[in-house]
Amino acid sequence: MLFLALFSAVGLAADAPAPDPTIPFQTYTLDNGLTVILAKDDSIPFVQVHVRYAAGSKDELPGKTGFAHLFEHMMFQGSAHADDDYFAPFQALGGQLNGNTTLDRTVYFEGVPSNYLALALFMESDRMGWLLPAMTEEKFKNQQDVVRNERRQRYEAPPYGEAWPRLLESVWPEGHPYHYATIGKHEDLEAASLGDVQAFFRTWYLPNNATLTVVGDFDEANARALINTYFGDVPAGPEPKLTVAEPVVLTGTKVVKVEKVTVPFPKVWITWIGPRAFAEGDADLDLAASMLSNGEDSPLYKKLVRDSQIAQSVDVSEQSQQLAGMFTIEATAATGHSADELVAAIDGVLADVRKSGFDQGDADIARTAFEVQFYGALLSIAGKADLLAQYQGLTGDPGYLSKDLARYRAATAQSVSDALRRWAPAENRVILEFLPAAVPAPSTPTPAKEGK
């Protein structure tokens, strides 16, 4: 019912355009460079504390990969004035907390009852300013093993687990910040030392490289006082050097084949380099991805899954990042069908769409669905905190929400079609194929010779 209500609220009726959604907020900067965003929401007696560091795997040095993700683990191992399990005090009061790392950034968050705002701010400030005194060789070795095991479980053991690292390696050349996945390389994780990760922390985990966002039911004067008390004395560091990269241009079609005995069905990923987040074409490609594969009547689903039944599934995504994006089509073959059949069918559908373009009615539906997603993100204080921090990190404007939504509202069938033709041509792409490998026949033991 809530979804239907939202869908109705954001319908694109010509006589009643939906109002722009907003998140009222205030922002300021501490003397140490920490950006602070405050957004009151007293709908429930809860508050979300969200810390975003402008440090992801793209900011790592050659031979020292996986450090940003490793720190996602290390930041829960205790700090100088709270040297214990980070989760324990929050779980005792029903709080929600976690962290995650991407190519571009690392975030940590706590959702707590309003009267525990001081606890969340204290804990975040202590690990921002005083993590290293509590970082022991034992803690480091423990989490080093945890991350290496996570790599095995998530990327090496599953049949298609290596697809994402392989895709990044295939699309982005050696030396590009996006050449490897955030999990890092196994040999780098194994060779990492305590001193290495401490140096990474001193470079990136600084108040002048972070944004603190507080959303929820709080008193503004009290929140400002608490933030000044807990974060004001965290020392700033040298301004981190901005990670940049020259634009990458793919030429022709690069095909990468991976054979594994654990792969049950052929699966393909076809990827083009797309625009960076919020750049021209980003929103249009989002809509193109939705229109190509969402719903049983979408061109790719209709051709590959419903009609020819050569695929079990097909999906399209636009993954826009800080430096550049990736427009990817992935499809899993049905029993008895091959990767080559999938690629040929996908190419056929894309050729038709490039020629005839998208239908305006389909563009309206896709645009409305994205607008519903925007409103959905505003239903929770956690969603609001994440949006404010994301906009600050990628655009420098926490209030970018209405401008972001305007990109989708301005899209037309023509602009989406043009974006697909520009960013996803017939060539200039990478095709990654995961294929079932033949199971080796068991060796036949040589019969023992009879003795005399």
**pLDDT (tens digit per residue) in 53-74:** 999 999 999 999 999 999 899 9
Mean pLDDT of 41-52: 96
Residue 174 CA to residue 58 CA, distance in Å, equals: 12
pLDDT band with cut points at 50, 70 and 90 for residue 3: very low
Pull the structure tokens for residue 161: 């687990």
pLDDT tens profile 317-345: 999 999 999 999 999 999 999 999 999 99
pLDDT tens profile 258-284: 999 999 999 999 999 999 999 999 999
Domain of 281, in residue numbers: 253-436
Q: What sections of 205-303 are H helices per DSSP?
A: 220-231, 282-293, 299-300
Assigned domain for 385 exists: yes
Nearest CA-CA partner of 366 in 416, 419, 330, 301: 416
Assigned domain for 110 exists: yes
Residue where a domain stops, chosen among 201, 231, 261: 231
DSSP 109-170: EEEEEGGGHHHHHHHHHHHHHSSGGG--HHHHHHHHHHHHHHHIIIIISSTTTTHHHHHHHH
Assigned domain for 71 exists: yes
Query: Residues 30, 135: one domain?
Result: yes
Query: Residues 206, 113: one domain?
Result: yes
Query: Residues 336, 411: one domain?
Result: yes
User: How many CA atoms, within 13 angstroms, populate the side-chain half-sphere of residue 130?
Assistant: 14
Residue 126: CATH number of its domain: 3.30.830.10
pLDDT tens profile 205-257: 999 999 999 999 999 999 999 999 999 999 999 999 999 999 999 999 999 99
Position 448 scores a pLDDT of 59
Query: Residues 179, 289: one domain?
Result: no
The rounded mean pLDDT for the chain is 93
pLDDT tens profile 146-180: 999 999 999 999 999 999 999 999 999 999 999 99
pLDDT tens profile 389-429: 999 999 999 999 999 999 999 999 999 999 999 999 999 99
Query: Residues 359, 296: one domain?
Result: yes
Position 310 scores a pLDDT of 98
Residue 106, strand partner residues: 53, 101
pLDDT tops 50 at residue 4: no
Domains in the chain: how many in total?
2
Position 9 scores a pLDDT of 41
Assigned domain for 203 exists: yes
Assigned domain for 352 exists: yes
Assigned domain for 240 exists: no
Query: Residues 260, 365: one domain?
Result: yes
The span from the first CA to the last CA of the chain, in angstroms, equals 87
Query: Residues 317, 389: one domain?
Result: yes
Query: Residues 257, 197: one domain?
Result: no
pTM listed for this prediction? 0.91
pLDDT band with cut points at 50, 70 and 90 for residue 142: very high
Which burial class, exposed, middle or buried, applies to 22 when counting CB atoms under 10 A from its CB (0-12, 13-18, 19+)? exposed
Assigned domain for 239 exists: no
Assigned domain for 311 exists: yes
pLDDT band with cut points at 50, 70 and 90 for residue 20: confident
Q: Which residue has the tokens 């209500």?
A: 5
Query: Residues 335, 300: one domain?
Result: yes
Query: Residues 263, 221: one domain?
Result: no
Position 13 scores a pLDDT of 41
Nearest CA-CA partner of 57 in 253, 235, 239, 188: 188
* Number of C-beta neighbours around residue 357 at 10 A: 16
Query: Residues 361, 409: one domain?
Result: yes
Residue 383 CA to residue 322 CA, distance in Å, equals: 20
Query: Residues 265, 300: one domain?
Result: yes
